[in-house]
Amino acid sequence: MKFIVSSSALLKSLQKISGVLSTSSTLPILEDYLFELTDGKLKITASDLETTITAEVVPDMMEDPGVVAIPARKLLDIMKTFPELPVTISVNLETFAVEILAGEGKYKMAAHPSDEFPQVPALENTTVLQLTSSLLVGAFNKTLFATGNDELRPVMSGVLCEINEDQITFVATDAHKLVRYRRRDVKPDTTAAFILPKKPLNHLKNIMPIDDEVEVKLEYNDTNALIAFEDITLICRLIEGKYPNYEAVIPTSNPFKLIADRKMLLNALRRVSIFGSKSTHQVRFRISGKELVLTAEDIDFSSEAKERLTCSYEGDDIEIGFNSRFLQDMLNTLESENVIIEMSAPNRAGILLPEKTEDDPEDILMLIMPVMLSS
């Protein structure tokens, strides 16, 4: 098995799929890339059993097709050092000796038989959706931070994808905060609901092109989802179980409405929270008239902070506590100039919305549970 390929093209493909590589697996083969040379193409695969990702490269020259597993870390480390030049990789499929020729250098390493590498799942009885990379990256960026880490509730460690005939909705929650991201400019003509795991989505949002309207194929059945774009194909196992009824926890009557400059509020929160409790991260919101006062204190260290902001507010005076870290995550994720916080009582969830224009295709709602105020 032998092929010649551009060093930068090979490195780019290896890096695109390296996020799935397993580092603490009991299966040593999962620390390898699977190289498959067939039909004028080189397919490189990485897997952690739950997720399998493949990149395709077209070699400049190839002979003797074959399949072999090559240690990923060593290959990545050597490829990162090369300038742009042709690299020749040849593998003896009987001894599994790998030889890499690049410029004046010659490097040898041992590969492994491919038969232990996990099989790429074949998807049957699937439904296919055509989406764009910018839509998916936007959805993942705005929901992933709200997913949970509780191993006892695995359904909340993923992102719910709800497909209706006139919209697509992504939901994430950890019971303290919730994000519902909806796009009505997609008309799927089908209905489905499934939970995508966090790890592959985190990886995809880093490698998907966000600026270009790249076509993305989302294919799914009852157990797996396939996401394919450009030269990348990712298949992941869906999280089993029923997602909680998120609509039931979103309060519908929120008579108190605060509008504030997003960046100003975010920076004030950052400053004030430095002086607050490191265990509760509590920041107190005191709103009256057109004034918002943020306060935080840490009694153990005798530190406190108070900052005044001007805002637009409709409703009765209110004092409510929020977790400043959660609120900062939400404000960081939004992009609008102003944000709206809707409330009804100090012990009821607050709703965070971006101030948006009529023709905005994104419909984002964020919910944050209040924290008990220590008197």
Helix or strand or coil: residue 224?
strand
Of 97-101, 135-139, 243-247, 353-357, the range with the lowest mean pLDDT is 353-357
Confidence class for position 375, pLDDT limits 50, 70, 90: low
Q: Which fold, 2-116?
A: DNA Polymerase III; Chain A, domain 2 (3.10.150)
CA nearest 135: which of 188, 59, 193, 82?
A: 188
Q: At what angle do helices 198-207 and 133-143 cross, to 10 degrees?
A: 130
CA distance 153 to 348: 23
Q: Which two tokens stand for residue 222?
A: 């009852």
Q: Alpha helix (H) ranges present in the chain? A: 7-17, 72-81, 133-143, 198-207, 262-273, 324-333
Say how far apart CA 305 and CA 336 lie, in whole Å.
Answer: 27
Q: Please identify which residue in the block is written with the tokens 């030049």.
A: 85
Would you state the structure tokens that stand for residue 183, as one six-digit string? Answer: 């796009």
Residue 120 contacts residue 45 (beta carbons within 8 Å)? yes
Looking at the predicted structure, is the pLDDT value of residue 77 above 90?
A: yes
Question: pLDDT of 274-325, one tens digit each?
Answer: 999 888 899 999 999 899 999 999 988 999 999 999 999 999 999 999 999 9
**Residue 22 confidence (pLDDT) above 80:** no
Domain 253-368: give its CATH architecture: Roll (3.10)
Checking if the pLDDT of 138 tops 90, the result is yes
pLDDT digits (tens, 9 = 90+) for 250-271: 999 999 999 999 999 999 999 9
Confirm whether 2-116 and 127-247 share one CATH topology.
Answer: yes
User: Global pTM?
Assistant: 0.91
Please give the angle made by the CA atoms of 63, 66 and 70, to the nearest 5 degrees.
110
Does the structure show a pLDDT above 90 at 151? no
Contacts (Cβ under 8 Å, ≥6 apart) of 259: 311, 312, 313, 338, 339, 340, 355
CA 268 to CA 286: how far, in whole Å?
A: 14
Alpha-carbon distance of 54 to 71, in angstroms, equals: 16
pLDDT confidence tier of residue 186, bands split at 50, 70 and 90: confident
Task: Report the relative pairing of strands 32-38 and 66-71 from DSSP bridges.
Answer: antiparallel
pLDDT at 237 over 80: yes
286-309 in b/e burial notation, b at 16+ Cβ within 10 A?
ebeeeebebbbbbeeeeeebeeeb
CB count within 10 Å of CB 152 equals 6
* Residue 212 pLDDT greater than 80, yes or no: no
3-state secondary structure of 265: helix
Domain residue extents for the chain: 2-116, 127-247, 253-368
Residue 373 has pLDDT above 90, yes or no: no
- What's the average model confidence in pLDDT over 185-193? 88
DSSP 314-357: ESS-EEEEEEHHHHHHHHHH---SEEEEEES-TTS-EEEEE---
* C-beta of residue 246 within 8 angstroms of C-beta of residue 258: no
361: three-class secondary structure by DSSP: coil
pLDDT band with cut points at 50, 70 and 90 for residue 121: confident
The edge-to-edge listing of strands for the beta sheet with 41-47 is 66-71, 32-38, 41-47, 51-57, 232-237, 224-229, 215-220, 127-132
Superfamily for the 127-247 domain: DNA Polymerase III, subunit A, domain 2 (3.10.150.10)
Question: Among 192-206, 229-243, 357-371, which is the least confidently predicted range?
Answer: 357-371
Alpha-carbon distance 298 to 158, whole Å?
34
Contacting residues for 237 by C-beta, under 8 A, at least 6 apart: 50, 51, 121, 197, 223, 224
**Average pLDDT score, the chain:** 93
The H helix count followed by the E strand count for the chain is 6, 26
Amino acid at 198: K
